[in-house]
Amino acid sequence: MSEDWTESYRPSGLDEVVGNPKAVQDLRNWAQSWEDGKPIKKAAVLIGTPGTGKTSAALALAADFKWDVVEMNASDQRNADAIKAVALRGALGETFSDSGEYLSSKDGKLKLIILDEADNISGREDRGGVPAIAEVVRSTKQPVILIVNDWYALSKKSSALKTGTLQIKFSRIKTVTVRGVLRRIAKDRGVNVSDRALELMAENSNGDMRSAIRDLQALATGRTEITAENTEVMGFREVEQTMYTVMDDIFKRNDPAKARALLREVDESPDTKLLWIEENLPHAYRDHLDLYRGMKAVSRANDFLSRVHRRQHYRFWAYAGDQLSFGVCAAKEKEIHGYIRYQFPMYLMRMSRSKGNRTLQNEISSKLGALTHTSTSSARQDILPSFKLLFQRDEAFRLRMVVDLELEEEEIGFLLGDKIDSAAVKRVVAEAKKLTSGPAPVSKGVEEKETKPEPPKPAPNQARLFSF
């Protein structure tokens, strides 16, 4: 009863990992290079959305090469020391198995260190987690696999991680492939599943094999037949409308009313919809007049959206939507054929790329605000730019501010315009530590300036900014 099909049908070797053949082959080659004593890279990063077989592939690899496995879920342990400890043991070549059994390295077997959900450790509470992982990658004498959903977030925190690893991407599993696996499992279980039901389950998994197998198990419980109707209890929707599918209806087809209805179903804000259409219209309409009329509709939509913002008159949203769908669709006279390579809106991309930086900027500004008795936003506008310059140019100021504002590595990196594991940031952190720990004289640069003895215990964060 409590059997978990996703576990029972976990691939036992790399041959059983379906989809992503290139990723599997890359992984195999990487492991072979370790076996040959000349690793391509010490660590491999498996990147991909949940349920695409990353964990399975790592375990299957170890099974194929007969390696022992030291598995760590980074998000459980949530601390840098634990990771280092494991890595160190791995590095020395002596480890214990999960059951506590001593595994000697004498037999020459490699031990695969798997850090699952390695991107989860990079959250705020885990300062030091990223450098710890980078350290593992640098110093390990055993093969290491990092598993992440969001490689971008992790890699931008450490250039050492980026260069020290072999990155292997796992894409969503194709619907036909998911369907094949479901059919095999159903057969194995003696459950009769209709083609349509298989199709629906596979489609709705959206390339997530784990969720597909879960759905199948849920539906098969207490049944020997599964029909398309049965799948309704799972609340399967018709395939979701996305901007990608709807843009075909707007740009390529000639049914403006349908285009309008479909655009309404897309679960995005009107502003976002506009960005999509605006970005992609020039790729679709090659005829100048078509493009001109199409853009006119987009600019009308934009007018309505600004009225919504100005007057909080949300009824105008509908008009904006009409212009974007009906208006743009009806604007063309030429037939549009062929595949259009739709682009993600540049604006959104830039905003999301700068999100990390914007957050940091706000954090620093709020500290500066507290110190100078101004609001976060005016600290950001009026103080931060010159603060940043001073911070970069004046060492004594820099160290004082690191201490007084309790700046963290990430924030120091941001202010210096450097990665958080860069030598410059490390140096600042070390110097600042010296400054705070004990009565020992601080570094020269600071000493020269501070000729007067320290005033007795300054209240933290008090007007130190102005003493320079």
Ligand X SMILES: Nc1ncnc2c1ncn2[C@@H]1O[C@H](COP(=O)(O)OP(=O)(O)O)[C@@H](O)[C@H]1O
Residues of this chain that bind ligand X (CB under 6 A): 6-7, 9-11, 17-19, 48, 50-56, 173, 209-210, 213
Partner from ligand X, Mg ion, none contacting 56, C-beta within 5 to 8 A by type: ligand X
Closest contact distance (angstroms) between CB of 359 and Mg ion is: 27
8 Å CB contact between 360 and 156: no
Q: How far apart are CA 63 and CA 114, in angstroms?
A: 13
Closest contact distance (angstroms) between CB of 75 and ligand X is: 13
The answer to whether 56 contacts Mg ion (rule: CB under 5 A) is no
Closest contact distance (angstroms) between CB of 243 and Mg ion is: 29
The residue type found at 349 is: M
Over the window 334 to 373, marking each residue x when it contacts Mg ion by CB under 5 A and - when it does not, the resulting string is ----------------------------------------
Closest contact distance (angstroms) between CB of 173 and ligand X is: 6
Partner from Mg ion, ligand X, none contacting 391, C-beta within 5 to 8 A by type: none
Closest contact distance (angstroms) between CB of 189 and ligand X is: 14
Closest contact distance (angstroms) between CB of 206 and ligand X is: 13
Q: What are phi and psi of 255, to 5 degrees?
A: -125, 85
Secondary structure class of 205 (helix, strand, coil): helix
Partner from ligand X, Mg ion, none contacting 131, C-beta within 5 to 8 A by type: none
Q: Nearest to ligand X by Cβ — which residue?
A: 53
Q: How far apart are CA 370 and CA 377, in angstroms?
A: 11
DSSP 426-444: HHHHHHHHHHHSSSS---H
Q: Choose the binding region for Mg ion from 40-48, 55-63, 130-138, 180-188 (rule: CB under 5 A).
A: 55-63
Nearer to ligand X, 48 or 413 (CB): 48
Q: Choose the binding region for Mg ion from 52-60, 221-229, 378-386, 439-447 (rule: CB under 5 A).
A: 52-60
Beta bridge partners, 95, equal 103
| Non-local CB neighbours of 129 within 8 Å, separated by 6+ positions | 74, 78, 79, 80, 83, 121, 122, 123
Q: How far apart are CA 131 and CA 143, in angstroms?
A: 18
Partner from ligand X, Mg ion, none contacting 90, C-beta within 5 to 8 A by type: none
Report the b/e string of 431-446 with b at 16+ CB within 10 A.
Answer: bbeebeeeeeebeeeb
Nearer to ligand X, 210 or 449 (CB): 210
Closest contact distance (angstroms) between CB of 214 and ligand X is: 9
Closest contact distance (angstroms) between CB of 99 and Mg ion is: 21
Nearer to Mg ion, 147 or 412 (CB): 147
SS (H, E, C) 92-148: HCCEECCCCCEECCCCCCCEEEEEECHHHHHCHHHCCHHHHHHHHHHHCCCCEEEEE
Nearer to ligand X, 14 or 277 (CB): 14
Q: Nearest to Mg ion by Cβ — which residue?
A: 55
Nearer to ligand X, 211 or 362 (CB): 211
Nearer to ligand X, 19 or 143 (CB): 19
Q: How far apart are CA 404 and CA 224, in angstroms?
A: 68
8 Å CB contact between 272 and 348: yes
Nearer to ligand X, 52 or 280 (CB): 52
The residue type found at 252 is: K
For Mg ion, the binding residue among 20, 52, 55, 231 (CB under 5 A) is 55
**Dihedral sign computed on CA atoms, order 275, 281, 283, 289:** negative
Closest contact distance (angstroms) between CB of 4 and ligand X is: 8
Nearer to ligand X, 21 or 453 (CB): 21
Partner from ligand X, Mg ion, none contacting 17, C-beta within 5 to 8 A by type: ligand X
Spacing of C-alpha 96 from chain mean position: 32
Q: How far apart are CA 426 and CA 432, in angstroms?
A: 10
Partner from ligand X, Mg ion, none contacting 140, C-beta within 5 to 8 A by type: none
List residues binding Mg ion (CB under 5 A). 55
